[in-house]
Amino acid sequence: MGGIVASLPLGLVIGLALGSLGGGGSILAVPALVYGVGECAHAATTTSLVAVGATSLVGMMGYLRTGQVRLVAGLTFGLIGIVGSLLGSLASRAIPNNVLLLAFSGVILVAAWRMHTRRTETPCCAKQLAAIPAGALDDLATGSEGLAPKAPDNAEGHKSSALAVAGKVVTAGSIVGFLTGFFGVGGGFVIVPALVLALGYEMPVAIGTSLLVIAVSSAEGLLFRLSSEEIDWRVAIPFTVAGMVGVLIGGLTAARVSADRLTGWFVWLLVAVAGYTAIQSLMAL
């Protein structure tokens, strides 16, 4: 009963992170379910896929209403991760719980580093995008003609640019899929920087599209786990509902609070969670 009660505030926090940052909250779901609710690592990864997927879908709807979701790019990005998600799910079954959590703490630290560096990388990206001829990113922004920007006059340059962007999408999508299957996270900490730096999306659009990708990749990871893992719905339902409330509040917060400030706070939260998870895992080895 105590674990069920604890799932409510924990789910709310994860929803807040997803709604305001487009990622990061999903990477907290597993340690929250393990240490806060009392689930084992493998059960927690499955529960997190249910909660994070449903929460991201609800949060994405709010961004979709304001035109800040690129459906074609998001669905393509998510579907590319199917193979990676399958491989990740299979690989995780052979890993002991404590080793899985120790590796997970390392991923959290990588997430913290990426979210920190994104604050300094994004302005550079904006400068690079400003140098691109006007109209070159129009089709990319609307998602009407695939994933690559259209070079107005240079067919060879257009082909090269298209291949470069496609390569980045395939690579990032595959990595996100593997992380989703292996750790039970949606991978938003990888998706948002990829959408900003590789595809040139503004932060609100990157966040909205990231939520769509997280929902798709979480569904993929859950599909591969259902045959071997049971879901404790007594925990999953309140955890998910609280997350849905949190993601809506987070979306409103993102429109009122500096994204740079939110990211800075969250980086320190990720570092703290990584440290706690690593210490607990090492003590149990």
Q: For residue 164, give the 3-state DSSP assignment.
A: helix
The total of structural domains in the chain comes to 1
- So what's the pLDDT on residue 157? 65
pLDDT in tens, 221-246: 888 777 777 788 999 999 999 999 99
Q: What is the reported pLDDT for 155?
A: 64
Convert the pLDDT of each residue in 100-155 to its tens digit.
Answer: 888 888 888 887 887 788 666 554 444 443 444 444 444 444 444 445 444 455 66
Rounding to the nearest 10 degrees, give the CA dihedral for residues 230, 234, 235, 239: 120
Residue closest to 285 by CA, chosen among 95, 110, 117: 95
Would you state the pLDDT for residue 256? 82
Flag residues of the chain having pLDDT under 70: 1-2, 26, 118-159, 184-187, 189-190, 259
Residue indicated by tokens 């090492």: 282
Claim: this prediction has a pTM higher than 0.75: no
Residue 225: give the domain boundaries: 2-284
